[in-house]
Structure 1
Amino acid sequence: MEVKKFSKKLLIEDQLTILQTNVLRVANKLREKYRIIDIITLFEKCCKELPNPEPEIDQAIRELYRKKYFVKGKKLFKEDILANEKRRKLNEYIIENPGIHEREIRKIFKLGAFLAYYHLVTLKKYGFIRKKVYRNKSVYFPSDFEEAKEEKVFLLRNAINNRIFEYIKKCGEIRISELKNIDQIPYSTTRAHLKQLLEGGLIKKIMKDEISYYMVADFKHQEEIIEVKREYDYIEGNIRFSVAIANLTNLEIYDIIANLNSSPQFIINVPLQNVANLPPRTTRNIDFILTPITCGQSKVSGSISFKDAFRNVHFIPIPPKEIIIECPLIKQLTATQTEVNEFIKNLKRGTGKILFQNISNNEIFRIVQEKISGLNLSEIEIDLDKLWGLYTGQFKIIEKIIVIKISIVNNLIALDVWADDLKQITGFIAYFTNLINIELKNLNKLVQEAGKVH
């Protein structure tokens, strides 16, 4: 049975037993023969075809009716309802926009009054949505939407209510006379909407020195809605910067955007990442990959934006985190090719890439060898035809082995580094990348100056 999209609670409820699944199979056979299936006919047919006791079959059928897999007097089954593309999109839109008014639905989906009514009644009859009337307006919610929140959502869908509520939230607490700062809302209108927000439990009125103040009722500051933690580790020559976002509330939050900023020390592969939603009391990790291009230390920070359960937008910073890339101190270590092969088996590996343009592969390899010779590494093997070299060394103080292979392929310097610790690997790749980039920058500058002379 395929149903393209349900809200989460409905998906959980729709976990059918084997018997319920078999009853549906029998019902589908009957539907091919009869225009409308009644419960007695279905019960009798199931008793003939299924080995289960009659009380169990009766209970399974009644449970399927309760879940609205069948509707009395209708030929359609629940699995048929969302096969209609327009109806499926309409159901999805109500899930994403709870409390939407029928007139808005007709406008958005370009439906006439009768067709809109038909689709909405069908979704309601089969348990996908429910209808509520607020202030003489028919509005629709997903069937699993928390009823206690319905009126609040309905009130905040009103543009004026939303503007007043947001203004009060921004100010913390405010007198009614100060609400005149909200442009283009007459004083009399403001009073009427304040009354609605008060009655709906969205704001509350307090007295200070015989003066009335309005403030958001039981509103959590954005710092109390989510909690942001961050940490980093070393992974294959890069930095994995992880941001953990925890939803501290009992309501879902939406449209989470994490934006990471860093110093020129790093290149961030994807600085902006999105999370569609975060269920109540859950945590989601977002990983950013940072490629260090030089040694040193710098702070990485960013920001999180999100919408709360009432679709209000919030911003919260990602606190700065200092990342240190240590430059390696290396001494020579003489070894044979066989010994190097044994070293590699017991070491961790990281990789790096350096792009270059307008310079021949042979010239780049010469520059690489020149820089390697300045690092006090031992040369194990060099292939001048295939343009690759293998080198070994030992970190000073800690006396740990490092193995480096450098090859030139298609305007690319490929680094393979083996060491005992990924932190050491990342430091070497960053240090060597910076050396090469400085040399390439100087070469390009010389070429440009030579061009000006000619």
Structure 2
Amino acid sequence: MNRMDTFTENQRKIYKIAKDYLQKNPHFTINELILVCKKNSNLPKNEISKILEKFIRKKIFVPGSRLTSETVLKNKTRLQIYNYLSVNPGLNFNQILNLFKIGPFAGHWHLEMLKKFGFIKERKFAIYKVFFHKDIPADKELIIFLLRNPNVFNIYLCLIKNPCTPNDLSKILDLHYSTIQYHLKKMQHNKLIIANDDKTYSINSGFQDFLTQHYDWTVPRELNKKIEEYIEPKRPVPSPQEEIVKVLREGDYLGGPVHYKVVVQNYTKLTISKIDIMITATSQYTWDHKVKSIDYLVPGETRGVDFILTPLTCGKSQIYATVAYTDGFGHPQTLLVPPKEIQIKCPLVAPKKVLKDQIDDWKQDLLKGSSSIQFKALSPKQIFEIAYNQIKTLNLSEVLLDEENFLCIFSGLIKDTSQKILLEAKVPPNTLTLDVWTNNLKHSTGLLANIRNQIDLAFQGYLG
């Protein structure tokens, strides 16, 4: 789409006036340009100023150049340089000169114009001026530049095929051992590769998806022949499940929801990537995220993901997870986390009247659990009536009923422990909020699951 297609009528008018003026006067000042545009249009000075400032900020016009962002790529060589850097970023100045067979003056001029108009960016690494397309992420620039070195690139190709020792690489690439060590040190420092316990090196597969957009990993026939000659290919051996995945804190009770945590531990010698953890549970629970992901884990790294499940009923059921990932050789793997049985107990309660002025003391002394249910089809009054009538069926004492503000509070004791329990229900618009205070969050979880189930059944009966 032509950039002018997005301009307003006034922007289009100022663009044409300024473009004609700049053909003859590239070394303009903003004040001069404003006066010229004011003279040739009937627009207010403030509006002209804002339009021109926007053009300069977006590099549609650049002071000191008669070119515009539309015309800068009409030069054939400049367009070729831009297109090449879009696909092959990270070239230094001399590489560009040699590639396009142009002299230093012409190369400098074309690159400066592309920079001025925001098509490319320049970075300096050591003694090299290096050029990238404007959209390359800053944190990936150095690894792209490193791989433009033929020796680094060939080392990386070898490691894609198979983990290698420095001695292996020296023989395969016919490079001095110290040269190999020099490049390996730089590559490891910038996390392109990983040092393994058996003194081999392997690629960090976490970068592969990005780098594949800009590099062809086809191994030349001669190099492939040398790799096969010096290195016996190592086939991936699936690691035992317990070496990769361990589940911790499977059934923590948060007082309402259940906290299920999966910890992935990478004990292989290579980076694993594209790790997806999928949780499976019965209809006893609801949860927001069925799948959670980890980008990659380097050898020895551990990371966990958390799932929060809301019990809908009391009872006993199993929760388990499946872990899918790509191993260091690029092969998909799947592991099953053993099921964990979790029981939601509905505590038996007995009435215990608490005075209104004691409510805050109980809340401070006890642990709070919460749950909420959304009702889009009912008014706050209808929601409150359903909740209140169901809570009344529990063997608890009514402490407070505020029908105007849709609030009720009940108190009691857990029968088998004689511990205090306080239950509060309130209705913000379209949502029922249930809060339970007890000494034990397992009791909160069970009681909330029981109440939710009764309210859900009553709600279905109300609509039916």
* Band of TM-score, shorter chain: 0.5 to 0.7
Partners of 2:416 and 2:126 in 1: how far apart? 71
Which SS does the other structure have where 1:435 is aligned?
helix
Structure 2 residue corresponding to 1:249, chosen from 268, 271, 284: 268
Alignment match, 1:92? 140
Structure 2 residue corresponding to 1:386, chosen from 385, 389, 405: 405
Asked if 1:143 is matched to 2:170, the reply is no
Show the 5 A alignment for 1:91-170.
92=140, 124=149, 130-132=152-154, 143-144=187-188, 145-146=193-194, 148-149=200-201
Q: Residue type of the partner of 2:152?
A: R
Which SS does the other structure have where 1:433 is aligned?
helix
Change (3 A) 1:194 1:413: farther
Asked if 1:226 is matched to 2:244, the reply is yes
Show the 5 A alignment for 1:213-362.
216=235, 219-221=237-239, 223=241, 226-230=244-248, 231-362=250-381
Asked if 1:435 is matched to 2:454, the reply is yes
Tell me if structure 2 keeps the 8 A contact 1:270–1:288: yes
Which SS does the other structure have where 2:377 is aligned?
coil
Tell me if structure 1 keeps the 8 A contact 2:351–2:411: yes
Change (3 A) 1:252 1:331: same
Tell me if structure 2 keeps the 8 A contact 1:81–1:87: no
Change (3 A) 1:347 1:279: same
Tell me if structure 1 keeps the 8 A contact 2:204–2:298: no
RMSD (Å) for aligned C-alpha atoms: 4.1
> How far off its partner does 1:282 sit?
2.5
Partners of 2:379 and 2:386 in 1: how far apart? 11
Change (3 A) 1:199 1:371: same
Q: Residue type of the partner of 2:153?
A: K
Which SS does the other structure have where 2:460 is aligned?
helix
> How far off its partner does 1:89 sit?
5.2
**Over residues 40-76 of structure 1, what are the superposed CA-to-partner deviations in whole Å (9 max), with x where a residue is unaligned?**
xxxxxxxxxxxxxxxxxxxxxxxxxxxxxxxxxxx94
> How far off its partner does 1:265 sit?
0.6
Which SS does the other structure have where 1:314 is aligned?
strand
Partners of 2:295 and 2:203 in 1: how far apart? 24
Partners of 1:149 and 1:310 in 2: how far apart? 13
Show the 5 A alignment for 1:22-61.
none
Aligned residues: 301
> How far off its partner does 1:279 sit?
2.2
Tell me if structure 1 keeps the 8 A contact 2:255–2:370: yes
**Over residues 262-317 of structure 1, what are the superposed CA-to-partner deviations in whole Å (9 max), with x where a residue is unaligned?**
10111112111111111222221211000111111110112001112222211101
Tell me if structure 1 keeps the 8 A contact 2:263–2:302: yes
Structure 1 residue corresponding to 2:424, chosen from 393, 396, 405: 405
Change (3 A) 1:257 1:395: same
Structure 2 residue corresponding to 1:201, chosen from 212, 232, 249: 232
Alignment match, 1:184? none
Tell me if structure 1 keeps the 8 A contact 2:369–2:441: yes
Q: Residue type of the partner of 1:290?
A: L
Change (3 A) 1:441 1:152: closer
Change (3 A) 1:152 1:385: closer
> How far off its partner does 1:229 sit?
1.8
Alignment match, 1:44? none
Change (3 A) 1:419 1:361: same
Change (3 A) 1:333 1:243: same
Change (3 A) 1:197 1:299: farther
TM-score (norm 1): 0.57
Partners of 1:428 and 1:79 in 2: how far apart? 69
Partners of 1:419 and 1:310 in 2: how far apart? 52
Alignment match, 1:32? none
Partners of 1:422 and 1:78 in 2: how far apart? 59
Partners of 2:458 and 2:419 in 1: how far apart? 29
Tell me if structure 1 keeps the 8 A contact 2:412–2:422: yes
Partners of 1:395 and 1:80 in 2: how far apart? 74
Partners of 2:363 and 2:141 in 1: how far apart? 56
Partners of 2:335 and 2:302 in 1: how far apart? 16
TM-score (norm 2): 0.56
Q: Residue type of the partner of 2:396?
A: L
